[in-house]
């Protein structure tokens, strides 16, 4: 994988540099490397990943609210589109899908198609107001405590407690980004679904919880050109637990975008 740093963001690129350009956007408390199980199945595509500001290799950068993360994704999409002379397919996991939809609305000239997987609608009044496992919402907690609660919920107590001390410190430090982005995501949507004019795929697992199911259905109804993709047996972390299914979602999104070639000058 080729690496570079752009405006404090650590980017990785792999696959076929002549293939359809695809940008993968991770969710909260994650990093671009989480997609590597998926990208091994996408060798014919020109895939790009990055660590969002405040996470992973980009953790030295200051945490941003949701609008700041949208601006960062715009920077990445503009870079990839300019280098390839073609619009980009953008695929977002969880909160990354919120960013993907915001960029698709703002720059439809640069986005050929978009996919989101179990992306939250945290600004809706029906979205749960408690954190993982109950208790206060993560954004209302002390940042390091919020990060630990999140990691224990996602990875499990045994895995969390077995991590090297340096890794746990890094994850706890990422709590500031987690709290900042989730807090801003509660206040307002960064996109108008009805104004997203590019083809969209909305994915969820077959056994996901009620609010994620409702969010997927609401998005499909609101987006002008959207299809629901239900992945049988998939959980929220499908990009790591079932990478072949997530890779299939990426490929369907590429097809929806019409295999874009170079743009006319």
| Domain boundaries of the chain, sorted by first residue | 2-128+189-256
CATH of 2-128+189-256, one of 3.30.70.270, 3.30.70.1150, 3.30.930.10, 3.40.50.1820: 3.40.50.1820
Q: What is the pLDDT of residues 3-29, one digit of tens each?
A: 999 999 999 999 999 999 999 999 999
Contacts of 90 (CB under 8 A, 6+ apart): 22, 23, 25, 73, 77, 100, 103, 104, 111, 113, 114, 115
Distance separating alpha carbons of residues 190 and 29, to the nearest angstrom: 20
**pLDDT greater than 70 at residue 265:** no
Q: How much of the chain exceeds pLDDT 90, in percent? A: 86
> For 66-97, how does the pLDDT look when each residue is reduced to its tens digit (9 = 90+)?
999 999 999 999 999 999 999 999 999 999 99
pLDDT band at 134 (very low <50, low <70, confident <90, very high): low
Helix/strand/coil (H/E/C) assignment for every residue in 203-244: EEECCCCHHHHHHHHHHHHHCCCEEEEEECCCCCCHHHHCHH
Residue 81 contacts residue 108 (beta carbons within 8 Å): no
Higher pLDDT, 131 or 245: 245
Of 94, 227, 235, 52, the residue nearest 243 (C-alpha): 235
Query: 210-262, pLDDT tens digit by residue?
Result: 999 999 999 999 999 999 999 999 999 999 999 999 999 999 999 999 864 43
Count CA within 13 A, CB hemisphere, residue 80: 31
Q: Are 225 and 199 in contact (CB under 8 A)?
A: yes
Cβ neighbours, 10 Å, residue 82: 10
Judged against a pLDDT cut of 80, whether residue 264 lies above it is answered with no
Confidence bin at 263 (pLDDT 50/70/90): very low
Q: Give the strand pairing for 21-25 and 2-6.
A: unpaired
Mean pLDDT for all residues in the chain: 93
Residue 179 near residue 143, CB atoms below 8 Å: yes
Q: What is the pTM of this model?
A: 0.94
Provide mean pLDDT across the span 21-39.
Answer: 97
CB atoms < 10 A from the CB of 27, how many? 25
Check whether 131 has a pLDDT greater than 70. Answer: no
How many of the other CB atoms lie within 10 Å of CB of 163?
14
Kindly tell me the burial class for residue 230, based on how many C-beta atoms sit within 10 Å of its own C-beta (0-12, 13-18, 19 or more). middle
In whole angstroms, how far apart are CA 142 and each of 136, 159, 187, 192, 220? 10, 22, 19, 31, 35
Count the residues in the chain: 265
């Amino acid at each position: 994988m080729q690496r570079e740093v752009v405006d404090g963001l650590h980017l990785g690129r792999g696959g076929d540099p002549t293939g359809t350009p695809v940008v993968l956007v991770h969710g909260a408390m994650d990093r671009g490397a989480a997609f590597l199980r998926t990208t091994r199945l996408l060798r014919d595509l020109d895939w790009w990943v990055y660590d969002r500001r405040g996470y992973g290799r980009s953790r030295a950068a200051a945490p941003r609210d949701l609008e700041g993360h949208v601006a960062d994704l715009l920077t990445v999409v503009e870079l990839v589109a300019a280098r390839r002379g073609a619009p980009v397919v953008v695929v977002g996991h969880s909160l990354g899908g919120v960013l993907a939809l915001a960029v698709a609305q703002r720059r439809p000239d640069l986005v050929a198609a978009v996919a989101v997987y179990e992306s939250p609608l945290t600004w809706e009044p029906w979205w749960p107001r408690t954190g993982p496992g109950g208790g206060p919402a993560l954004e209302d907690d002390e940042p390091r405590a919020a990060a630990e609660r999140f990691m224990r919920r996602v990875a499990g107590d045994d895995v969390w407690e077995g991590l090297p001390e340096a890794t746990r410190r890094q994850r706890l430090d990422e709590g500031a980004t987690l709290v900042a982005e989730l807090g801003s995501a509660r206040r307002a949507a960064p996109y108008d679904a009805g104004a997203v004019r590019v083809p969209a795929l909305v994915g969820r697992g077959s056994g996901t919880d009620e609010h994620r199911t409702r969010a997927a259905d609401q998005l499909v109804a609101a987006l002008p050109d959207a299809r629901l993709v239900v992945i049988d047996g998939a959980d929220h972390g499908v990009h790591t637990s079932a990478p072949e299914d997530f890779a299939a979602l990426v490929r369907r999104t590429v097809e929806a975008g019409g295999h874009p070639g170079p743009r006319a000058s």
